[in-house]
Amino acid sequence: MSKKPHPSLSIAALQQAYRDGSMTPVELVDFVVAAIGDDPHKAWIHRVDASTLRAQAHVLVERGPVGLPLWGIPFAIKDNIDLEGAPTTAGCPDYTYIPARSASVVQRLLDAGAIAVGKTNLDQFATGLNGTRSPYGACRNAFNPAYVSGGSSSGSAVAVALGHVSFSLGTDTAGSGRVPAGFNNLVGMKPSLGLLSTHGVVPACRSLDVVSIFALTADDAQQVFSVAHGYDTKDAYSRPAQPHGFDFGRAAHWRVGVPRPDQLRFFGDNAYAQCYADAKDHAQALGATLVEIDFAPFTETAQLLYEGPWVAERYQAIRAFIDTHPEAVFPVTREITMQGAKPLAADAFAAQYRLRALAQRCAGVWADIDCILLPTSPTIHTIATLLADPITRNSDFGYYTNFVNLLDYAAIAVPAGFRSDGLPFGVTFVAQAHQDQPLLHLAQRWQRAQQGAAAMLGATGHAAVPSDAANAVASGQVQVAVCGAHLQGQPLNHQLTSRGARLMQCTTTAAAYRLYALPDGRRPGLIRVDEGGAAIEVEVWELPVSQFGSFVNGIPAPLGIGRTTLADGSMVAGFICEPYGLTGATDITAFGGWRAYIRQGM
């Protein structure tokens, strides 16, 4: 009997395999156990016993997938996040405890049918961006074990990249949920602060920490985020998701900030520099307008992270332990953390004042851009190079990440190609808080447009399969299709732009409409017909819900707002015409749109 090949563990692929019967959760558990093997990459600290995993899979099979959006999907948990009954070490054996309950975010995933495979390696107490600061062994890059995996969520990234699990949870304070994604060809989502509960997470900097998501695709990250996010009264920093506003991730044209050339840093890595240049070209091909920004206030903000109150916060997080067991802490971690015992309260206030001033400078860029496109890391180092100069080389990795949490931004890291030596390169999109959904949409577009090796998932050799991942957060926006005087360049377009509307796409309706020039000669009327219809040119604009009522109120009879079916089959709000308004109107369907008609002199 031939052995089945290791399946793709992307959520979409695995769910398809479950549906068509080519895989069951019990078989999946056996594949996962075999794939991990003796763990030569040092990705894991604790694995749930194989018999326990099989028993959980059997329970899921008996229960069935209905109502369980992550039914039978295996995942890993960074070992500073609690899993009931499994040891939490935070990368320090002497710190170990056995939690009586799972972290809130883990429980949400378990309740959705996901299977927790175990706990993953990390830079001790989540202090580091490299993955070597662990007494359980330096976690090794999924593509070349001589290189660092990135950290601190090292094992969480490598476990996904190697096809051990479908997704994983990490944490991110300074880039720990993004740098390992960049080094291992993954999507790494750093949500807005408070959207994923940190109850049951060993803190690093509690005021900045977020739980992050590693996934093979942005579609997978979307599915996990949809389940994992939610307000939690047990987390003092939890907050509900807010409407995200303009969805630049789905817009035909969007504005992306990039640092001025003199502000880019690659530390001699010319291959990464070229990959970033290629990534900017890729963004433009997706409709982006590149806008050069002054990156200086962002790098100045980043420098605050390892001074003053935020190092003191790291010390406070493990103060009782490190004061009584200093020898149990990894030497470089101890050196960094103990610096937090020195700052005075006055130093903390001074740093907070400095942060507020820098945040105000950074805020000025957002009037001209929708998001920022950055290299996830300026370069990558071998484990040997990192260990020879552990603090300086670690800081190299944070040049483009350290500011994000301090400024309360959201970010998502996505794969963006490879160096000639086969090591991955990634970029990160950064946006303001609560714009997680547009970032996910943009990452989905980014990945779907990639080809060749860039389209491969992690280090698995598998390609993505289509997914119908649903939105997790409402936009607070309304899309409306316009076909006449509200088009760009037409007399009433200002009624949209003055309300903050942005153009999403230029398209056509489904081939089920007819267009008429109304008797006043200034407006068209669009009607749906059962037969003899055609595709009519429209523009889809997005405006805030709060502005939609006044916009509709200003539409004079016989026009109004109904539902318009677009060429791709989707439906949005759109202009309709009352039948009585067509008396004396001229059928102009043959022109294909209002613009073509008026160009012909009406």
Determine the Cα–Cα distance for residues 561 and 552; give it in Å rounded to an integer: 7
CB–CB of 197/238 below 8 Å?
yes
CA gyration radius, the chain: 26
Q: Is 445 helix (H, G, I), strand (E, B) or coil?
A: helix
Determine the Cα–Cα distance for residues 419 and 270; give it in Å rounded to an integer: 10
**∠ CA(416), CA(422), CA(423), 5° rounding?**
60
* Per-position b or e across 446-474, b if 16+ CB within 10 A of its CB: bbeebeeebebbbbbebebbebebeebbe
Q: Is 436 helix (H, G, I), strand (E, B) or coil?
A: helix
Determine the Cα–Cα distance for residues 109 and 69; give it in Å rounded to an integer: 9
Q: Looking at the annotation, which residues are catalytic?
A: 78, 152, 176
Angle between helices 345-363 and 296-303 (to 10 degrees): 160
CB–CB of 120/398 below 8 Å?
no
Q: 215 forms bridges with which residues in the sheet?
A: 167, 187
CB–CB of 271/278 below 8 Å?
no
CB–CB of 376/400 below 8 Å?
yes
Neighbours of 94 (CB within 10 A): 12
